[in-house]
Amino acid sequence: MDTSTPITKTISLNEYGIKNEHIHYQLSSEQLHDLTIEMDMGKEASSGTLAVNTGEFTGRSPMDRFIVKDSITEEKIWWGDINIPFETEKFDKLYDKVIAYLNEKELFVRDCYACADAAYKLNIRVINEYPWSNMFAYNMFLRPTEDELAAFSPEWTVINAPGFIADAQLDGTRQHNFAILNFSRKIALIGGTGYTGEIKKGIFSALNFILPVFKNTLPMHCSANVGEAGDTAIFFGLSGTGKTTLSTDPNRKLIGDDEHGWTADNTVFNFEGGCYAKVINLSKEQEPEIYGAIKKGAILENVIMNADGDVDFGDTSITQNTRVSYPIHHIDNIQQPSIGKNVKNIFFLTADAFGVLPPISKLTPAQAAYHFISGYTAKVAGTEAGVVEPQPSFSACFGAPFMPLHPTKYAEMLSNKMQESGVDVWLINTGWTGGPYGVGTRMKLKYTRAMISAALSGELGLYNYDKYHIHSVFGVAQPRECPGVPTSVLSPRATWNNDEAYYKTAFKLTNAFRENFKKFEAHASEEIRRGGPQRYAF
Ligand code: ATP
Ligand code: MN
């Protein structure tokens, strides 16, 4: 775990075709921090944190993510806009080009692994062009002990060359940047983008294929934590819905904030060794644990600082997607190793910018399957060019861009697990209340946290109709009361003060749900189809 002892082992990259004298192997976090500043690629914030700019890309580029179509993947992958095929020959050529590009460069190499459960451990070698990207790998993947390192044999390799520019015509890419997975060669090849998230999501996507296909384990885009009684809770949700924020809870031990596997033995393990939090509008008062994790060892991305190195978390002039990565031990209350047992509650987080979904509701198993397959959240103005009013956004399994198999594969596995473990499933709207985006306001974090604790502690009571109201449009069970939350907040319609506008907007959303679900209808049972909204506009 501790890399303060300098690593004396040297390695050769000959097996990758890389001939290079300038290899920095397994540098410590401090060394990488210092080198980044020396090389003028980053600055130190007043908190001691390294701050970098990731360059042209400040987010992932889903349209430039490919999977090599070969004998392993051909029959199994759900090919389409999300999993875009890439030819083996083209990959091999592009690989050689990237290697030739890296040959002349100083390189940063790190051996690490994914999956906190030893039975699933995936050894990874990360080869970076830049020191800060290598520090990101230190923060986000699991850190081998010295003994583990001595015997280390890499299984997957991430090759990360942000400065390499592809020629789309020649190389078969869409444009100059790419992230390509090759399951036969076990390589994630990333070029033309410095966005660090591509590194972690590359391995995540690989595991999302490997675990269900070969290890009978459900991979999930979710965060997880464990309570004092040893009960595990998992939180699914698309980007910005609150996975990292809500799993970082002083009263529960953090297992992980983004990527987990649910095994056949009913345990949940983290794939990663760190967290990657959004820092837009971050405040010490609202999110003290994450705020406190931003110190030496962490890496801030694309934030604006003043001359004293104080970060302005409200400044989105580079991007809305400002981030910080830190090793998980920057959070005080963590589960070690990052494995939980006894899953009791599942939360589906959605940031409903229409402001029509209840802030908390309980789902039946059929509703849970329906909402998992739908994966609804909303996009609000500003996050993407051209988005001026809220737009529904559906991403199957709350993580379609990272899921190589057909969504119903993961949904089936989840349904089985839900049945076996008898979990309670809750739909949480962390989005708008009192009206849609532009009229209403974002749900208070304090209230969302209170609703989640009430669900976790059992205070929301047994599932009976006296304590719940069945929503007339969505069909979900909405609690009438919740400790720590004003009763009026629990009913979205009541917060609008305009029934007509509320129902009109609610129908707009249910129609979007129906439209989206069409492509899954053939795969879904009658029961699951009935788990959807109850009323639509005609
Ligand atoms: P990603 O998959 O991109 O990592 P995420 O699901 O982890 O996304 P968070 O990083 O937790 O998302 O982002 C949630 C953001 O919304 C934070 O900036 C948080 O401060 C803000 N927020 C505001 N109100 C709420 C609320 N009621 N519940 C949760 N988050 C809220
Ligand atoms: Mn997150």
Topology at the third CATH level for domain 342-531: Phosphoenolpyruvate Carboxykinase; domain 3 (3.90.228)
Please choose, from the candidates 7, 23, 33, the residue with its C-alpha nearest in 3D space to the C-alpha of residue 327. 33
Task: Report the binding-site residues for substrate.
Answer: 60, 195, 201, 323
Q: What secondary structure does DSSP assign to 306-371, as a single string?
A: -TT--EETT--SS-S--EEEEEGGGSSSB-SSSEEE-EEEEEEEE--TT--S-SEEEE-HHHHHHH
Look up the CATH number of domain 275-330.
2.170.8.10
Atom number, ligand 1, closest to the C-alpha of residue 349: 6
426 CA from centroid of ligand 1 (Å):
17
Please name the residue whose Cα sits nearest to atom 1 of ligand 1: 239
CB 409 within 8 Å of CB 383: no
Q: Which ligand is nearest to the CA of 201?
A: 1
Homologous superfamily of the 14-40+65-215 domain (CATH): Phosphoenolpyruvate Carboxykinase, domain 1 (3.40.449.10)
113 CA from centroid of ligand 1 (Å):
27
Q: Which pLDDT score is estimated for 6?
A: 54
Q: Which pLDDT score is estimated for 425?
A: 97
Task: Report the binding-site residues for ATP.
Answer: 201, 221, 237-245, 287, 323, 448
Give me the torsion for CA of 397, 398, 399, 401, rounded to 10°.
90
Q: How far is CA 480 from the centre of its chain?
A: 32
Mean per-residue pLDDT pooled into runs of 10, the chain (538 residues): 56 88 94 98 98 97 97 97 98 97 94 98 98 98 96 97 98 98 98 98 98 98 97 97 97 98 97 98 97 98 98 96 97 98 97 97 96 94 61 96 96 94 96 95 97 95 76 95 96 96 96 96 90 83
Please choose, from the candidates 111, 140, 122, the residue with its C-alpha nearest in 3D space to the C-alpha of residue 210. 122
Note the pLDDT tens digit of each residue in 320-379.
999 999 999 999 999 999 999 999 999 999 999 999 999 999 999 999 999 999 999 998
398 CA from centroid of ligand 2 (Å):
12
Q: What secondary structure does DSSP assign to 490-531, as a single string?
A: H-HHHHHT-HHHHHHHHHHHHHHHHHHHHHHHTTS-HHHHTT
437 CA from centroid of ligand 2 (Å):
22
Across all residues in the chain, what is the average pLDDT?
94
Q: Which ligand is nearest to the CA of 240?
A: 1
Note the pLDDT tens digit of each residue in 130-158.
999 999 999 999 999 999 999 999 999 99
User: Which of 196, 221, 241, 395 has most ligand 1 atoms within 8 Å of CB, for mutation?
Assistant: 241
CB 157 within 8 Å of CB 102: no
Atom number, ligand 1, closest to the C-alpha of residue 257: 7
Max intra-chain CA distance, the chain: 72
Q: Which ligand is nearest to the CA of 429?
A: 1
Q: Which pLDDT score is estimated for 1?
A: 44
Q: Which pLDDT score is estimated for 181?
A: 98
Between CA 388 and CA 380 the distance in angstroms is 7
Task: Report the binding-site residues.
Answer: 60, 195, 201, 221, 237-245, 258, 287, 323, 448
Please choose, from the candidates 85, 60, 114, 63, the residue with its C-alpha nearest in 3D space to the C-alpha of residue 182. 85
Please name the residue whose Cα sits nearest to atom 26 of ligand 1: 445
Both tokens of residue 61?
A: 């580029």
Between CA 410 and CA 480 the distance in angstroms is 33
Contacts of residue 415, defined as CB under 8 A and 6 or more positions apart, other chains included, come to 365, 368, 369
407 CB burial (10 A radius; 0-12, 13-18, 19+): buried
141 CA from centroid of ligand 1 (Å):
22
Tell me the pTM.
Answer: 0.96
The domain spans of the chain are 14-40+65-215, 275-330, 342-531
Atom number, ligand 1, closest to the C-alpha of residue 223: 7
Please name the residue whose Cα sits nearest to atom 24 of ligand 1: 445
Both tokens of residue 519?
A: 């492509």
Q: Return left, alpha or beta for 428; rule: phi > 0 is left, psi -120 to 50 is alpha, else beta.
A: beta
Q: Which pLDDT score is estimated for 232?
A: 98
Residues with CB under 6 A from ligand 1: 237, 239-246, 258, 276-278, 280, 430, 442-443, 445, 448
Looking at the annotation, which residues are catalytic? 60, 201, 221, 239, 243-244, 258, 323
149 CA from centroid of ligand 1 (Å):
35
